[in-house]
Structure 1
């Protein structure tokens, strides 16, 4: 798009360089604000993007906020569904896997609520969607079904959104080991799927989608990743005033 990029990060900690030395995120962003027209921040600490936005005069784009939100991923997911299904309104969406720590699904449910989708939340008990999110969805009139069966989820879903169980979010590794292999999408499961169901995944995947599923016509997770390029180009164009 003709812009230049300044990368400011500590590769090992994924922290803004000066914050590794003790500088506050507010001060770091105030300095960066003088160098850039747009700030894109990805940080492992939930709430950092919001603090950055409060400190900056230029637009701040949240590129991933700990276990909180990932709105640009949500936008490209919606775009992928629109391209594949022709609409988002009225679809039944099954979100499966790590719904507790998965920031992508936390952003997505807000989008799906705007489109009036029916939601199936399928996960192990230890990885259920945070209850306050579920309460807000139901208070807004969204039909939400919480289950622990992957087979039941695919039987009714127009869209199966699979998430990785995020080892890095677990305080105790043994807890991760207990749930990492509970929800696996494979060819046997697809025999139970609703006709025309598409499969999405924010990537990277580990073992939650078997490689054999890549040949399934509705497996769109790599196209989904490619769509991220164009959606994020559009976001940059919008926040810089490059398009009306």
Structure 2
């Protein structure tokens, strides 16, 4: 008989479709799991969650359910929005700071053992870890749903889903040109969103434009993913030129923590700044998004521009994560 480990190594990731049953009890590791119809289902439930929060504050569909949020890297928006989402649906959460002195990681406990212990207490797990591929590896040996909140420079699927929801919600239509600006080499939010957009609209007229310094260019694997889905892409270094005729500008910070030396970071720090001067040169209806936190890549003066949607984007994050939690815990209906 095969061992549990041998069986788990063959465990495939679920494909998440328009059937809520396909989501129940499943981990969300990669945007590759999301079908176009599955995304439509998520949009519908996210809209319902927004209506519920705005009218009633939430409901009790996840009463007596417990979520673990485990973060080995710093997080404000992702951890808090998941915690708020669980609370809005009547559930509770326990939070583990994997960097803190109270974490068993300080005693050299393996990530796999930490997760195996915590799944004894909870119904689902949200995990962020600095090692690329760590979350997919953990999922092989878990029995409870694990939601990938970022694995190194790999993926951040729930961010990509809330970004896509925001794009749809702002435009009320499919985008034709989306510009990614900033640190495209290390930006897992960019990697996930570019993949998700290309698979949601395969063989479409969508154009993805990647604008960055050469040393922070988008990985070839992402370009290949777009190509395989029949989505056109273009490479730029000039932000103004990249934004011409665009509907969406997706800005990312230069991720200092990913650089090997201070000198390498300083060479590209502040290379792009979205300010009122730039906004005067771009399309009048171009929406600006950012996964946050920002450093100096979007001037605060832009916050007053109605095209600045990044705080609306953050609010949408709670609704989308409410929908994800309800789906994976089998409570998409009250």
Which residue matches 1:232?
Answer: 321
Q: How does 1:163-182 map to 2 (within 5 A)?
A: 163-182=252-271
Tell me, yes or no, if structure 1 residue 8 matches structure 2 residue 96: yes
SS state at 2:271 partner: coil
Which residue matches 1:81?
Answer: 167
Question: 1:4, CA displacement in angstroms?
Answer: 1.6
Larger RCO of the pair (alpha carbons < 8 Å, separation 6+): 2
Question: What is the distance in 2 between the residues matched to 1:48 and 1:156?
Answer: 39
Tell me, yes or no, if structure 1 residue 131 matches structure 2 residue 217: no
Which residue matches 1:241?
Answer: 330
Is the contact between residue 200 and residue 224 of structure 1 (CA under 8 Å) also seen in structure 2?
yes
Which residue matches 2:182?
Answer: 97
Question: What is the distance in 2 between the residues matched to 1:70 and 1:212?
Answer: 28
SS state at 2:298 partner: coil
SS state at 1:179 partner: coil
Is the contact between residue 197 and residue 218 of structure 1 (CA under 8 Å) also seen in structure 2?
yes
Question: 1:169, CA displacement in angstroms?
Answer: 0.6
Is the contact between residue 25 and residue 51 of structure 1 (CA under 8 Å) also seen in structure 2?
no
Tell me, yes or no, if structure 1 residue 212 matches structure 2 residue 301: yes
Q: How does 1:144-159 map to 2 (within 5 A)?
A: 144-159=233-248
Is the contact between residue 195 and residue 225 of structure 2 (CA under 8 Å) also seen in structure 1?
no
Q: Spell out, residue by residue over 1:3-47, the C-alpha distance to the aligned partner (whole angstroms, 9 max, x if none).
A: 12122223448xx92233222212221111111110100112211
SS state at 2:150 partner: strand
Is the contact between residue 195 and residue 222 of structure 2 (CA under 8 Å) also seen in structure 1?
no
Structure 1: gaps (5+ residues): none
Question: What is the distance in 1 between the residues matched to 2:237 and 2:285?
Answer: 23
Question: 1:156, CA displacement in angstroms?
Answer: 2.5
The alignment yields a C-alpha RMSD, in angstroms, of 1.5
Question: What is the distance in 1 between the residues matched to 2:180 and 2:197?
Answer: 11
Question: 1:139, CA displacement in angstroms?
Answer: 2.7
Structure 2: gaps (5+ residues): 1-88
SS state at 1:67 partner: coil
Q: Spell out, residue by residue over 1:113-141, the C-alpha distance to the aligned partner (whole angstroms, 9 max, x if none).
A: 02242100000001000112112211321
The match for 1:108 among 190, 193, 198 is 193
Is the contact between residue 120 and residue 146 of structure 1 (CA under 8 Å) also seen in structure 2?
yes
Is the contact between residue 98 and residue 105 of structure 2 (CA under 8 Å) also seen in structure 1?
no
SS state at 2:92 partner: coil
SS state at 2:97 partner: coil
Which residue matches 1:46?
Answer: 132
Is the contact between residue 123 and residue 144 of structure 2 (CA under 8 Å) also seen in structure 1?
yes
SS state at 2:243 partner: helix
Question: What is the distance in 2 between the residues matched to 1:97 and 1:12?
Answer: 30
Question: What is the distance in 1 between the residues matched to 2:98 and 2:170?
Answer: 38
SS state at 2:249 partner: strand
SS state at 2:250 partner: strand
SS state at 1:111 partner: helix
SS state at 2:244 partner: helix
Is the contact between residue 290 and residue 310 of structure 2 (CA under 8 Å) also seen in structure 1?
yes
Q: Which structure has the larger Rg?
A: 2
Question: What is the distance in 1 between the residues matched to 2:143 and 2:98?
Answer: 24
TM-score by length of 2: 0.70
